[in-house]
């Protein structure tokens, strides 16, 4: 599909009710699970990011299905899939695209890069230099790309799914905080249990691949679901609970950098999406509590002494959530 032939779906598409959002999420999950056995929670987190216009950071060892998950999501929604294999010699033009001179026509033409996809897999993103990594910042935040002074809108929907190998650090560059803050959620597939792996061996022996997935929804369905997610109610009590958690990250002696205002917005929007995926038109404190780690942990910086004690930011957020009183509805 060329850039010219892509139809950008308007955000003004008619909204659907929350029960239809739940059905949509269920259909996408079932499609993805044709090629990924189990891992319902991680798949749901990826679907949540799609519903909330967010991006996903997948941190896992090689061979656990990260690429398969991204392809399966694209196939489930009949979206264009793009992939960038990040390497140290990658330059921003390899991500965004370049203007080249066509001698036959006597004019410059634009050759779009893989960023002009709807589901973009940024594979091993930390292997590229910070300059190349930063080429995605505008795309992730503003859904547009600027090349040679010309700004072009990206297809809609647009989601970046970036992968990190947490074991192999040689030849990598740490992701800057500004980039980490643009990922709505961080997730991990992990190893399957014995029964799941046995089922996977049987299924792949039959030759089923992500390309064989029949779309269970369209981009227009997804945009309509997004509009409904935006209308999910977050009452003052739940919002105060969310803000208490965020404030605790900024006041924690174990953290050098707390959650940003962008993180607060992401947590609230993610909670709205999670509520809609569960067929509710309102957010519960449990939604915020459940999502706090995957939305906030990767955005924080732990103090050096905390790192020496082996405390990761995910553990610190977990402790903060447990220590923050959960509001109880009074009759």
pLDDT at 64 over 60: yes
Task: Give the separation between CA 17 and CA 15, rounded to whole angstroms.
Answer: 7
pLDDT at 15 over 50: no
The pTM of the whole model exceeds 0.95: no
Identify the pLDDT of residue 236. 94
Mean pLDDT over 204-218 rounds to: 68
Q: How sure is the predictor about 32, in pLDDT bands with cuts at 50, 70 and 90?
A: confident
Strand-strand pairing, 150-153 and 159-164? unpaired
Mean pLDDT over 63-89 rounds to: 86
Mean residue pLDDT of the chain comes to 84
DSSP state of 117: S
Q: Answer with the residue of higher pLDDT: 266 or 302.
A: 266
Mean pLDDT over 107-115 rounds to: 84
Identify the pLDDT of residue 309. 63
Tokens 């009949």 sit on residue: 78
Identify the pLDDT of residue 192. 75
Q: How sure is the predictor about 169, in pLDDT bands with cuts at 50, 70 and 90?
A: low
* Cis check: omega of the bond before 248, within 30 degrees of 0: no
Q: What is the pLDDT of residues 277-288, one digit of tens each?
A: 999 999 999 999
What phi and psi values does residue 216 have, to the nearest 5 degrees? -100, -5
Q: What is the pLDDT of residues 223-273, one digit of tens each?
A: 889 999 999 999 999 999 999 999 999 999 989 889 999 999 999 999 999
Mean pLDDT over 205-214 rounds to: 62
Task: Report the DSSP beta bridge partners of residue 267.
Answer: none
pLDDT at 2 over 80: no
What does R_g of the chain's alpha carbons equal in angstroms? 20
DSSP state of 136: G
Identify the pLDDT of residue 287. 96
| Domains, in order of start, for the chain | 18-224 (3.40.50.300), 232-323 (1.10.8.80)
pLDDT at 1 over 50: no
H helices of the chain, in order, are 18-32, 40-51, 66-76, 92-96, 130-133, 137-142, 177-180, 194-205, 219-230, 236-251, 261-277, 285-296, 304-308, 313-323
Q: Answer with the residue of higher pLDDT: 34 or 50.
A: 50
Identify the pLDDT of residue 331. 39
pLDDT at 12 over 60: no
What does each C-alpha distance from 142 to 39, 60, 136, 137, 230 come to in angstroms? 31, 27, 10, 8, 18
Q: How sure is the predictor about 6, in pLDDT bands with cuts at 50, 70 and 90?
A: very low
Identify the pLDDT of residue 207. 58
Q: What is the pLDDT of residues 43-57, one digit of tens each?
A: 999 999 999 999 999
Percent of the chain whose pLDDT exceeds 70: 88
pLDDT at 13 over 80: no
Identify the pLDDT of residue 308. 54
Give the Cα-Cα-Cα angle 102, 106, 109 (nearest 5 degrees): 40
Identify the pLDDT of residue 310. 56
What does each C-alpha distance from 82 to 85, 113, 121, 138, 199 come to in angstroms? 10, 9, 6, 17, 29
* Cis check: omega of the bond before 157, within 30 degrees of 0: yes
Task: Give the separation between CA 293 and CA 314, rounded to whole angstroms.
Answer: 6
Mean pLDDT over 98-126 rounds to: 85
In sequence order, the 6+-apart residues with CB closer than 8 A to the CB of 252 are: 258, 316, 320
Q: How sure is the predictor about 3, in pLDDT bands with cuts at 50, 70 and 90?
A: very low
Q: Which two tokens stand for residue 266?
A: 């992401």
Q: What is the pLDDT of residues 84-103, one digit of tens each?
A: 999 889 998 889 988 877 77
Tokens 């656990």 sit on residue: 64
Q: Which two tokens stand for residue 97?
A: 């695209």
Task: Give the separation between CA 191 and CA 37, rounded to whole angstroms.
Answer: 11
* CB-based contact 122:161 (threshold 8 Å): yes
């Amino acid at each position: 599909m060329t850039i010219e032939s892509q139809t950008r779906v308007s955000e003004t598409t008619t909204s659907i009710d929350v029960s239809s959002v739940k059905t949509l999420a269920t259909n996408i999950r079932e499609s993805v699970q044709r090629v990924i056995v189990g891992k319902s929670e991680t798949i749901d987190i990826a679907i949540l990011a799609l519903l909330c216009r967010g991006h996903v950071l997948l941190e896992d060892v090689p061979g656990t299905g990260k690429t398969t998950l991204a392809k399966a999501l694209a196939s489930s929604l009949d979206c264009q899939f793009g992939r960038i294999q990040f390497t140290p010699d990658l330059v921003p033009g390899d991500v965004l695209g370049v203007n080249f001179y066509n001698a036959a026509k006597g004019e410059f033409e634009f050759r779009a890069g893989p960023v002009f996809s709807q589901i973009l897999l940024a594979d091993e993103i930390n292997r590229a230099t910070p300059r190349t990594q930063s080429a995605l910042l505008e795309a992730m935040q503003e859904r547009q790309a600027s090349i040679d002074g010309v700004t072009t809108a990206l297809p809609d929907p647009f989601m970046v799914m970036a992968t990190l190998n947490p074991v192999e650090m040689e030849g990598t560059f740490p992701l800057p905080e500004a980039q980490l803050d643009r990922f709505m959620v961080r997730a991990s597939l992990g190893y399957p249990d014995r029964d799941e792996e046995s089922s996977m061996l049987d299924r792949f022996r039959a030759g089923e691949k992500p390309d064989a997935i029949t779309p269970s929804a369209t981009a227009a369905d997804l945009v309509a679901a997004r509009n409904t997610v935006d209308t999910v109610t977050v009452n003052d009590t739940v919002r105060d609970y969310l803000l208490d958690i965020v404030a605790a990250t900024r006041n924690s002696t174990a953290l050098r950098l707390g959650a940003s205002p962008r993180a607060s917005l992401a947590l609230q929007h993610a909670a709205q999406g999670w509520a809609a995926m569960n067929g509710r038109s309102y957010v519960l404190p449990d939604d915020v509590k459940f999502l706090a780690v995957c939305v906030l942990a990767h955005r924080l910086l732990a103090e050096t002494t905390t790192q020496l004690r082996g405390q990761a930011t995910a553990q610190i957020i977990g402790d903060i959530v447990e220590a923050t009183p959960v509001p109880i509805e009074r009759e």
